[in-house]
Structure 1
Amino acid sequence: MAFSTPRVRAVRHALTAGLLAVAAGLSGMAQAQSSTPIKLLVGFPAGAGTDAIARMLGEKLKDELGTPIVVENRAGAGGQIAAQALKAAPADGHTLFLTHDHSISILPQVVKNPGFNPSNDFVPVAGFATFANVLAVSGATPAKTIDEYVKWVKTQRDGKDTIGVPAPGSIPEFLVKMIGDKYKLDLQAAPYRGSAPMTADMLGNQISAGIASVPDFIENHKAGKVRIVAVIGAKRQPLLPTIPTFSELGFPNLDDYPYYGVFAPVGTPQPVIDRFGTALQKVLAMPDIKQKLTTLGLNVAYEPQGQFAGRVRTYTQSWERIIQASGFVPK
């Protein structure tokens, strides 16, 4: 006959908790010793900015973790396809998602049925950089400042213009509306399938302006092929010290910087997440990696899981207010 006293129950509870902790630890050890590659999902095409960042980090992470890193491009719909793939992946630490803010914070607010819910389906692993979206003008306009661009549109285009954006329902699209409203211009966003074709049209003078990230424009800006005239964020960018922020120009609620980070399927063992985060922190501290990312226009700063989760939450809420105020209807 079996008896269950409070003492026996307490011992059983302690043993169960201990076994669960051991299991999680073994899962992390198994990943450390496994030759199974870690799949790093990227929601954009090979050769694009996010892809280049993922491959740069993946090469160093491979050495730190002692595990092969395979960058897998699941391009399309602003990262939506890659996010859906992450949701469907086993929560064993062998599938992660390297992305920026659009896929996590914006897509679920502008698409009716994105096929994933970041709060329920994903867990932040770590953040590694922030960046700024910028307004740039092409050689089709003589403007060197946003005021000169506004004057050019009013005098040469009858107050109307089209501004390219990398994706529909993206932050750049909302910025187009905000710029039009502030300066009383009839501005229309022209969504592209990524920043690369948009930039190509700017270089070919097919469109007179575009909004994308600093990494998307910085090389052509340095070469004088496009001219960045305004940047998002509370402070001016180190690579663009003479370019004013939208906040300086009188635009409200544009102080939060977009982010880059890594996400895992919900349920991924904590030791696995911690191990990857530690490796990422070491890679970001490497002078050559930090210099390369900075040159691309990123503000490099490692953020551990808890801190990064807070950034994602605050940023998402900030843009939720802006999107709702714009009257945008999810499609």
Structure 2
Amino acid sequence: MLMLLRTSMRQLYICALLVGGILTNAPAHADSFPERPVHLVVPFSPGGLSDSIARMIADKLRFRLGQPVVIENRPGGSTLIGAEHVAKAPPDGYTLLLGSSTTFSMLPALRPRLPIAAEDTWAPVAIVGETSIVVSTRAENATIESFASLLAQARARPGAVTYGTTGPGTAPHLVGAMIATTFQVDMTPVAYRGSMQVLADVIGGQIDLSLDPLAVAKPLIDAGRLKPLAISSAARLPQYSAVPTFSEVGVTMSSGAFWYGIAAPRGTPQKVLERLRVELQTVLQNPEFQNTLAERAIVVGHGRAEDFRQRVRAEIAQYRQLAKDARIKLD
């Protein structure tokens, strides 16, 4: 009997040590984060703007975190492939998503049954930056000289005017639908894997229009390869003073910017999120980083998670109304 009691007490003591270790180690892991490389998933092809932004962030963030930041390109499915990979990853801060307004606002608005559509899918880290959207065509396009002539062509040849998208529910798709609905014209979307392929085919004459972020189209506009027709900024931009804004040509878009943000899977420990936010904020405030983004027509964002959440809520409501007006249904 005494032997049995000693054995039982020994087992209880071992269990107490194990439970105590589990309880004390959980916050310890968060306190020591990161202890291994952090993976930043980009749901776009290599070589594009999102990939470039991710690599700039990774290059500076690795010094702040003291660990490598590895870029993983997982394109496809209108950013869904990469986004779902991150959403299903362990919520430990080691797998992050560099997504865009397509991922966080547009797709959830149009496809509410998606696994990533729930409001609590993500633990926001920061809005990285934003840029305007520009409608452009190849510089040599003699039939489309202005936004007015674009509309004239679309009215004269219903369905003949084509524009590139990076998939259903992405920013170019919605902007094209917005233009078509506003002016009661018929234009044809053509899906590509990435914006670089869209721009190549616009320049090559395979399709008529790009409706991409200015940061993506800017190098080709500045090189004289693309002709901008309208831009979503609130006012005309000094460097493109001849280009009218969306509001000037009659397009109403309450959120005129395409933005990029970093998020972790829901359930990520608060201490880990705070570490990521603090270090990312330091990167975003770096003058060299800001100047590099400014050269690409990107305004740097900030680190407040609540701003991220509020923006997503507001944009989902806006895009749902647009989808209803334009009769867009993806589910």
Consecutive unaligned residues in structure 1, runs of 5 or more? 1-18
Do 1:154 and 1:160's aligned partners in 2 also have CA atoms closer than 8 Å? no
Amino acid at match of 1:145: S
The superposition leaves residues 45-85 of structure 1 with CA deviations (integer Å, 9 ceiling, x where unpaired) of 11111011001110100011112100111111121011111
Q: Aligned in 2, Cα 1:80/1:232: closer, same or farther, shift over 3 Å?
A: same
The superposition leaves residues 109-129 of structure 1 with CA deviations (integer Å, 9 ceiling, x where unpaired) of 334753333413211111121
Matching of residue 288 in structure 1 with residue 283 in structure 2 = no
CA RMSD of aligned residues (A): 2.5
Q: Secondary structure at the match of 1:251?
A: coil
Q: Aligned in 2, Cα 1:38/1:158: closer, same or farther, shift over 3 Å?
A: closer
Which residue in 2 is equivalent to 1:192? Answer: 192
Per-residue deviation at 1:313? 1.6
Which residue in 2 is equivalent to 1:54? Answer: 54
Amino acid at match of 2:146: T
Instruction: Give the TM-score of the pair, scaled to structure 2.
Output: 0.85
Which residue in 2 is equivalent to 1:326? Answer: 326
Which residue in 2 is equivalent to 1:312? Answer: 312
Matching of residue 216 in structure 1 with residue 211 in structure 2 = no
The superposition leaves residues 147-202 of structure 1 with CA deviations (integer Å, 9 ceiling, x where unpaired) of 233345567x5784112222222232232233234444332112222211111111
Distance in 2 (CA, whole Å) between partners of 1:115 and 1:238 is 42
Distance in 2 (CA, whole Å) between partners of 1:165 and 1:151 is 22
Do 2:181 and 2:326's aligned partners in 1 also have CA atoms closer than 8 Å? no
Which residue in 2 is equivalent to 1:63? Answer: 63
Per-residue deviation at 1:134? 1.4
Amino acid at match of 1:59: D
Amino acid at match of 2:30: G
Per-residue deviation at 1:26? 2.6
Distance in 1 (CA, whole Å) between partners of 2:173 and 2:253 is 16
Distance in 2 (CA, whole Å) between partners of 1:74 and 1:210 is 23
Matching of residue 176 in structure 1 with residue 176 in structure 2 = yes
Which residue in 1 is equivalent to 2:135? Answer: 135
Which residue in 1 is equivalent to 2:148? Answer: 147
Q: What pairs with 1:30-49 in structure 2 (closer than 5 Å)?
A: 30-32=32-34, 34=35, 36-49=36-49
Do 2:101 and 2:260's aligned partners in 1 also have CA atoms closer than 8 Å? yes
Distance in 2 (CA, whole Å) between partners of 1:47 and 1:190 is 21
Per-residue deviation at 1:25? 4.9
Do 2:127 and 2:262's aligned partners in 1 also have CA atoms closer than 8 Å? yes
Which residue in 2 is equivalent to 1:249? Answer: 249
Do 1:27 and 1:272's aligned partners in 2 also have CA atoms closer than 8 Å? no
Q: Aligned in 2, Cα 1:21/1:135: closer, same or farther, shift over 3 Å?
A: farther
Instruction: Give the TM-score of the pair, scaled to structure 1.
Output: 0.85
Which residue in 1 is equivalent to 2:95? Answer: 95
Do 1:232 and 1:254's aligned partners in 2 also have CA atoms closer than 8 Å? no
Q: Secondary structure at the match of 2:302?
A: strand
Q: Aligned in 2, Cα 1:147/1:266: closer, same or farther, shift over 3 Å?
A: same
Consecutive unaligned residues in structure 2, runs of 5 or more? 1-20
For structure 1, which segment, 90-99 or 139-148, has the greater mean C-alpha deviation from structure 2 after superposition? Answer: 139-148
Which residue in 2 is equivalent to 1:9? Answer: none
Per-residue deviation at 1:249? 1.8
Distance in 1 (CA, whole Å) between partners of 2:74 and 2:215 is 20
Q: Aligned in 2, Cα 1:250/1:61: closer, same or farther, shift over 3 Å?
A: same
Distance in 1 (CA, whole Å) between partners of 2:22 and 2:310 is 27
Do 2:100 and 2:260's aligned partners in 1 also have CA atoms closer than 8 Å? yes
Q: Aligned in 2, Cα 1:172/1:23: closer, same or farther, shift over 3 Å?
A: same
Q: Secondary structure at the match of 1:52?
A: helix
Question: What number of residue pairs does the alignment pair up?
Answer: 310
Identity %: 29
Which residue in 2 is equivalent to 1:164? Answer: 164
For structure 1, which segment, 310-319 or 45-54, has the greater mean C-alpha deviation from structure 2 after superposition? Answer: 310-319
